[in-house]
Structure 1
Amino acid sequence: MPALSLINFNIVCATLGGFVSLFGLVSYLCKERFYLSEALISLLAGVAFSPHAANFIRPEDYALHSEANLEAITLNFTRLVLGVQLVLAGVQLPKRYLQIEWRSLSLLLGPGMAAMWICSSLIIWAMVPNFKFLHALIVASCVTPTDPVLSNSIVKGKFADKHVPRPLQRIIVAESGANDGLGYPFLFFGIYILKYTGMGGQGYSGGAGKAMGLWFYETWVYTILLSIVYGTVVGWLSRKLLHWAEEKHYVDRESFLVFAIAIALFILGTCGLIGTDDLLACFIAGNVFTQDDWFRLETIDDSLQPTIDMLLNLSMFMWFGAVCPWKSFLDNDIIPIYRLIFLGILILLVRRMPIIFALHKYIHQIDHLSHAAFVGFFGPIGVGAVFYLSIAREFLLEIQVDGKVREDAQQVADVAWIVVWFLVICSIVVHGLSVPVGKAGYNLPRTLSTVITTSTFESEPVPISNIRHTHSTATPVENDASSFRSRRRRQNSSPTPPLFRLGRSVIPSPSPSVHQTQTGVGQTDEPERPVNLVLHESVTNLGESPP
């Protein structure tokens, strides 16, 4: 007898396929008419399909009811999405963009990121009860980088093409790509100091000197510099090999189009093997790969890469909606919900806006204060924050004494789990709704004014049968001629070309003034005569011979 096979694989495939299909049917309407981001829609779908609602997506079952397995799945999923996104972000920039715009990028990635880190740390330190500033530095480092996935919803599409200048779009893409890979120094600065100085350095000797040594050698040299060198080498070799294969006609179109995504997967795997910064290596490789702009121009009209990107984004944010600790926001012993909400508002407003206003005069892509406000507000927190949260918890939970996680490390891990997830949700919702709400607010006064004016001053329609009784006793020809003369007195005069009656006789012009009309090419002078008057004269002179 046939029976239902309600296994997780079948349910997930049906749920994901059904959602992507339904979203595809109205995707243009959602993104180009209502300006809703696919991240927000996918997050809401993930909540609807999660164990909190329909229970179609069951993350705990996939992780075998192990919290460590669930965090490992989330970590690797975010690595995959970010790796592909960062290579594509590097590919879509013009040739030699990092070399040309290094001044603007150095300001955003240097003092810009440092100020965002410090501002976020101060807010978290102030809002979380009984929390040290060093611990706040670790939590704030997770939300310091701007997210390339959510940034794409701002710098792509109809709204961005109309309202965001192209140089501004490119600098946002470049910053969000580079700072995701540069989040490691901010994260491990606090982690190393906590490990070797927290609680008197219990279980770990060496003090602050060893912490700074490890931070310099392991983080800056091995993680950052090695990633830059490795990404440069892989990108350069990939470009040369693809040029050679294309010249020899060894590569087909499908393999050519998917080459950048294959580079992303290769770098993710190899950097994961040697334990270096795969995100930064992916972004650098994407830039070096299109150093001559050849690959970007060859694939600029192709939709394969955006399609794969969209599928990964939809899946990622559905997963976020399912695994987000929604209950912990209300039920926890760390931070009350009212403090958490106020924390989210302050982070979105203060984390990035002040430093962008301070630096915008030195960044030529930000021409006006309105541009500075846009760049300062749209610094989204998303997939990158969850990635660094997973990295932070992985290292913090390894700080153990006698087989147990040390108390201060456990406290930081618990606070980071709640605060970072809450800030991610706030950013997805606020930045996902900012454009449609802003457009609605901009158009609302004009719409209300139009409605009020129309309803107040528009006269009710008069039946046609009553028109002849309400007008004067003048004939239609006289009425038309009178209105015609009054219009002509308000218009400029110019030479009038001759007009002919139906019988080819010239119609004399009663006045030298004419009506000028505007055409698509230029201005043409054309006398406007009442239709009834012209027909009357034409019928009268039908018998006249042409001149």
Structure 2
Amino acid sequence: MPTLDISNFNIVCATLGGFVTMFGLVSFLCKEKFYLSEALISTVAGVVFGPNAANWIRPQQYALGSEETLNTINLYFTRLVLGVQLVIAGVQLPSRYLRTEWKPLALLLGPGMTGMWMVTSLLVWAMVPNLTFLHALAVGACVTPTDPILSNSIVKGKFADKNIPKELAKLVIAESGANDGLGYPFLFLPLYLIKYIGDHGAGESGGAAKAMGMWFGETWGYTIIMSIAYGTAVGWIAKELLHWAEERRYVDRESFLVFAITLALFIVGTDGMLGSDDVLACFVAGNAFTWDDWFRLETMDDSLQPTIDMLLNVSVFIWFGAVCPWYAFAHNSVIPIYRLIPLGILVLLLRRLPIIISMHKQIHQIEQLRQALFVGFFGPIGVSAVFYLYISIEFLEKITVDGVQREDAAHLQEVMYVVIWFLVICSIVVHGLSIPLGKIGILIPRTLSNAVSSDRNSDEPAPFHIRSFTEQSLPGILRNRHSNISNPGNVTPHSAATGSTGTNLLPRPLYRIGGSVIRKKSGCQQQQPQKQQETDSDRDAVGTLEQGIAPGNRSLQTPSPAPGMMQPMARPGGAPADDDSSFSGSNPAAVLSPRHTEGQELVLGPRTITFADGSTARGDETVAERSRDE
């Protein structure tokens, strides 16, 4: 008998595959029409599929009920996603970007990050009860870096194409990539101090001197500087090897396109084994890999990297929705919910915005105050904050006294767990809904204004339809076009150019010369006296059909200039045309056949040439040939 195998693996594959498939069907509608980010949609899906609702995604079961194992899964998952994302971010930047734009990046990564760190720490210190400022510095350091995944979703798409300059978008990507790896010094300065001087240094010896020595030596020397050197070396060697293989045609297209992704996996693994900052190394390697812009230009139109990027984004935010401690937000022993919500609002408003506004004049990519407001507000908190959270938890769990975690370290761990997860969720929701809500805020006043205007003007005459130019000037041609096609011999000269008033209504002339269309600058229609109609109609000649011109259409005659020079056009009947109706080209003064096209524009195709002496020639005979014959 066949049996059902409802295992966790099968459930996860079905859930993830089903969601990505269904989301793919409406992805353009959600992202380009409603401006909803895939991070927000995926997080909501994670909540629905997670243990708080459908329970199809079961993080605790995957970790075998161990909180420590679950923390390790979260740490490694975020490391993997950040590593791939930062290599892609580095590859997206133009040639030598870190060298050419080092001044604005230095402002954002130096004073900018320091200011964000201090403001966030002060807000946490003020809102969380019984928390020392040193502990608040550790919390603030985790949310100081801007998230490259959420930033990337903001600077791409239809909204970004219309509202964000390209140079500003590149700066946002570069900042979010670099400050992720540079979050280590901000985090480990308070962590080392907590370890060696917190709780009077219980369980540890060395004091503040050892803490500062560890910070300068291990954090700056080994973690930061070594990761920069390692990423630069690996990226440069990878670029040269790929050049060498491509010149000899050793690499196929598929391997070429996926090269940056595999490079990210290699750096995450090797730099992780060295115990250095693999996140920063990935970003530096990605930029060094495309230092000459060759790989970026070769893969610019390829969709493999964005596809992998999308799959990783969807997966990690579904996981966040499932693993997030929703219950702990309202039920914890460190901060009540009525303090937690204002803390989230204040951090999103004050963490970055005042700092960017204060120094935006020194950043040449930020040209207007409106752009400064945008860059200051959209500094999202996301995957990088969760990554630093679990780096901190791993560090704090090792601060023990007699084999038991020290009390101050345990308290800080709980504060960080609740506050940082809440700030991440706030950023995903607020930054994910800011653009669509802003669009609604613009559209609703316009709709209400239009409705009020309609009510006020209800007693005024109703608007009337104004016929298009072609309907006014050539009613016969438009009305009889299809009948002329079916009856080629049924040609009525006056119906094509005579209006209901009995006067000739000639359209504004349009001339096709090669690939150009030239319109007469003067009025849209010209009138002739009724007594000239018969004379004009006698002078009209029926042009033969061009390819694609409906049979039976009446050609309009325009006289030719004297040989060797261009003359002003003459109206039918001999009336001189305005000077601005003349034109130059290889086929002047052609008899032009009107053709109605989409949008009711009159396109006139040349057929024959009528010269001043009354003789005619084929449309492809040039003026120079005619002059030579004479």
TM-score (norm 2): 0.76
Equivalence for 2:145: 145
Equivalence for 2:521: 524
1: CA distance between counterparts of 2:172 and 2:151? Answer: 7
Which blocks of at least 5 consecutive residues in structure 2 are unaligned? Answer: 465-471, 473-491, 512-516, 540-572, 574-630
Q: Which has the higher contact order (CA 8 A, sep 6+)?
A: 1
Give 1:377-456 correspondences, 5 Å limit.
Answer: 377-456=377-456
Task: Supply the AA of the counterpart residue of 2:152.
Answer: N
Contact preservation (8 Å) 1:503, 1:541: no
Task: Supply the AA of the counterpart residue of 2:101.
Answer: E
Equivalence for 1:488: none
1: CA distance between counterparts of 2:497 and 2:43? Answer: 76
SS of the equivalent of 2:276 reads coil
Task: Supply the AA of the counterpart residue of 1:267.
Answer: I
1: CA distance between counterparts of 2:518 and 2:408? Answer: 75
| Structure 1 position 538, deviation (Å) | 9.4
Contact preservation (8 Å) 2:494, 2:537: no
Contact preservation (8 Å) 2:509, 2:519: no
1: CA distance between counterparts of 2:395 and 2:105? Answer: 30
SS of the equivalent of 2:494 reads coil
2: CA distance between counterparts of 1:22 and 1:6? Answer: 22
CA pair 542-390 structure 1, distance change in 2 beyond 3 A: same
CA pair 165-538 structure 1, distance change in 2 beyond 3 A: farther
2: CA distance between counterparts of 1:539 and 1:6? Answer: 91
Equivalence for 2:494: 502
Contact preservation (8 Å) 2:196, 2:205: yes
Q: Deviations over 1:114-140 (max 9, x none)?
A: 000000000000000010000000111
CA pair 541-348 structure 1, distance change in 2 beyond 3 A: same
Equivalence for 2:76: 76
SS of the equivalent of 1:526 reads coil
SS of the equivalent of 2:521 reads strand
CA pair 58-451 structure 1, distance change in 2 beyond 3 A: same
Task: Supply the AA of the counterpart residue of 2:83.
Answer: G
CA pair 526-7 structure 1, distance change in 2 beyond 3 A: same
Equivalence for 1:350: 350
| Structure 1 position 443, deviation (Å) | 2.1
1: CA distance between counterparts of 2:510 and 2:331? Answer: 68
2: CA distance between counterparts of 1:153 and 1:39? Answer: 8
Give 1:236-275 correspondences, 5 Å limit.
Answer: 236-275=236-275
| Structure 1 position 510, deviation (Å) | 12
Equivalence for 1:338: 338
Contact preservation (8 Å) 1:257, 1:304: yes
| Structure 1 position 451, deviation (Å) | 3.0
Task: Supply the AA of the counterpart residue of 1:4.
Answer: L
1: CA distance between counterparts of 2:368 and 2:55? Answer: 48
Q: Deviations over 1:490-509 (max 9, x none)?
A: xxxxxxxxxx97299999x9
Which of structures 1 and 2 has the bigger CA Rg?
2
Higher mean C-alpha displacement, 446-455 vs 273-282? 446-455
- Give me the CA root mean square deviation: 3.0
Contact preservation (8 Å) 2:508, 2:519: no
| Structure 1 position 109, deviation (Å) | 0.3
* Identical pairs, percent: 63
Pick the structure with more helix per residue: 1
Paired positions, count: 507
CA pair 250-336 structure 1, distance change in 2 beyond 3 A: same
Q: Deviations over 1:155-185 (max 9, x none)?
A: 0111101100011100000000000000000
- 1:327 paired with 2:333, answer no
Equivalence for 1:210: 210
CA pair 461-291 structure 1, distance change in 2 beyond 3 A: same
Give 1:350-369 correspondences, 5 Å limit.
Answer: 350-369=350-369
Q: Deviations over 1:328-353 (max 9, x none)?
A: 00111110101000000000000001
Q: Deviations over 1:39-58 (max 9, x none)?
A: 00000000000010001000
2: CA distance between counterparts of 1:450 and 1:311? Answer: 43
TM-score (norm 1): 0.88
Q: Deviations over 1:212-247 (max 9, x none)?
A: 000000000000000000000000000000000000
| Structure 1 position 453, deviation (Å) | 2.6
Which blocks of at least 5 consecutive residues in structure 1 are unaligned? Answer: 465-479, 481-499
Higher mean C-alpha displacement, 290-299 vs 442-451? 442-451
Q: Deviations over 1:272-324 (max 9, x none)?
A: 11100000000000000000000000000000000000000000000000000
Equivalence for 1:373: 373
- 1:91 paired with 2:56, answer no
Equivalence for 1:12: 12
